[in-house]
């Protein structure tokens, strides 16, 4: 290990260049992953906040909330099992800003500021709208005399890239009757008339834009990992070839292969860990600095997974160097007969 750090110090420019490239790869992986998470949150954050895991929805609704309208019989069956109703309708303000107006007790949302609506002319909107609105602002519904007062902002409540606006039953009925789109609970109900029970995951996949966005972005992350493994392998293999004579001398004076392998692993891990940690730090910093309207979300669990995956990819990428070192013949390496 001591030799490894001495070598890193001696060839600092060479290893610094490798570290910069690994940092850029790690940062790109983190950025794309956070972007994918942010876009996902813009699609499904309201669904994630639902108080139950089972959703009763109309059979012919293609698992889309807005296409579903439950019958009174289904609603009563679900209510008997402690399911909660959710009513949703699109809404456009006079300035053409769009929201999904919701009346429900089935969403556990948190406020970033203000208070929850208490009367029919009050709404709480998603926090992404806080850049253009303030608590206390009055918004007018387009092509209508209905007005709402914004009483607060909810933390991450979006559906299909549209901000959610929560209101009371009276507030919802200012626009249209409070028809129930879905019921939310904790049991898988069967024998429902013209309705079915699905999971949160199925409800998320029912949003057309969700999988269309997530699949290419996640594939991009996978390809970046593959590229990282290739880059790491190439760099350290070339460095190993350049140092064939040094490794041959070390073997000739009795240095065990295991010690040289340990030296290579120390060099690889040091460069990769430092580069990746800097990339993670920059990603978190960007998450704080970017505007709230930017679909960017840093998932702590995903960051840990990516960090561990990067270490694993790096170790696998270093295998070529290790194999080369193990096979080095001391005599031929130092130019002997």
pLDDT tens per residue across span 41-73: 999 999 999 998 999 999 999 999 999 999 999
Rounded to whole angstroms, the Cα distance separating 226 from 230 reads: 6
- CA–CA dist 183, 67 (Å, integer): 14
Residue reference for tokens 């208490």:
118
Return the higher-pLDDT residue of 176 and 11.
Answer: 176
Percent of the chain with pLDDT over 70: 94
User: Do 57 and 182 touch, CB atoms closer than 8 A?
Assistant: yes
When pLDDT is averaged across residues 134-162 and rounded to a whole number, the result is 93
Q: Is the pLDDT of residue 111 over 70?
A: yes
Confidence of residue 5 (pLDDT cuts 50, 70, 90): low
Q: Are 325 and 260 in contact (CB under 8 A)?
A: yes
Q: Does the global pTM surpass 0.75?
A: yes
Q: What is the DSSP string of 314-334?
A: HHHHTHHHHHHHHH--HHHHT
The more confident residue out of 188 and 253 is: 188
- Confidence (pLDDT) at 337: 46
pLDDT of residue 123: 95
CA distances from 3 to 8, 9, 245, 250 (A): 9, 10, 16, 11
Alpha helices in the chain (DSSP H): 2-10, 12-48, 72-80, 169-172, 200-205, 208-242, 244-252, 257-289, 300-317, 319-327, 330-333
Task: Give yes or no for residue 203 having a pLDDT over 90.
Answer: yes
The per-residue pLDDT for 271 is 86
295 or 183, higher pLDDT: 183
Per-residue model confidence (pLDDT) at position 239: 74
Specify the pLDDT at position 153: 96
pLDDT of residue 162 exceeding 90: yes
* Least confident residue range of 4-8, 208-212, 257-261, 291-295: 4-8
Q: Which two tokens stand for residue 163?
A: 């901000």
Q: What is the mean pLDDT of residues 129-155?
A: 93
> Mean pLDDT across the chain, nearest whole number?
86
**Residue 11: predicted pLDDT:** 65
Is residue 168 within 8 A of residue 120, CB to CB? The reply is: yes
More confident residue, 167 or 221: 167
Residues 27-38: tens digit of each pLDDT: 988 898 898 889
Q: Which residues of 310-323 are buried (b: 16+ CB within 10 A; e: fewer)?
A: beebbbebbebbbe
Amino acid 315: pLDDT: 78
Give the tens place of pLDDT for each residue, 223-249: 887 887 777 777 777 777 777 777 777
């Amino acid at each position: 290990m001591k030799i490894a750090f001495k070598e890193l110090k001696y060839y600092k420019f060479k290893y610094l260049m490798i570290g910069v490239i690994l940092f850029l790869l790690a940062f790109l992986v983190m950025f794309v992953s956070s972007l994918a998470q942010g876009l996902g949150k813009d699609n499904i954050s309201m669904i994630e906040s639902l108080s139950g895991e089972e959703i009763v929805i109309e059979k012919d609704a293609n698992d889309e909330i807005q296409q579903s309208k439950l019958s009174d019989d289904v609603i009563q069956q679900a209510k008997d099992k402690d399911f909660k109703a959710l009513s949703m309708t699109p809404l456009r303000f006079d300035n053409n800003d769009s929201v999904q107006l919701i009346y429900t007790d089935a969403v556990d949302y948190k406020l970033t500021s203000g208070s929850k609506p208490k009367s029919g002319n009050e709404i709480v909107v998603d926090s992404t709208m806080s850049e253009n609105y303030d608590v206390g602002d009055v918004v007018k519904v387009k092509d209508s005399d209905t007005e709402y007062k914004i009483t607060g902002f909810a933390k991450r409540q979006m559906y299909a890239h549209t901000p959610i606006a929560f209101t009371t039953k009276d507030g919802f009925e200012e626009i249209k009757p409070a028809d129930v789109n879905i019921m939310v609970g904790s049991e898988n109900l069967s024998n429902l008339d013209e309705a079915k029970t699905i999971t949160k995951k199925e409800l998320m996949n029912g949003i057309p834009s969700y999988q269309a966005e997530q699949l290419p972005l996640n594939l991009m992350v996978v390809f970046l990992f593959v590229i990282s493994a290739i880059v790491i392998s190439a760099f350290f293999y070339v460095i190993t070839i350049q140092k064939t004579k040094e490794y041959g001398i070390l073997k000739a004076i009795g240095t065990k292969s295991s010690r040289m392998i340990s030296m290579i692993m120390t060099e690889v891990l040091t460069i990769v860990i430092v580069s990746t940690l800097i990339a993670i730090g920059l990603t978190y910093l960007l998450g704080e600095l970017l505007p709230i309207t930017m679909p960017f979300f840093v998932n702590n669990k995903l960051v840990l997974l990516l960090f561990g995956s990067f270490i694993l990819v790096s170790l696998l990428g270093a295998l070529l160097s290790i194999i080369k070192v193990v096979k080095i013949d001391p005599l031929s390496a130092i130019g002997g007969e």
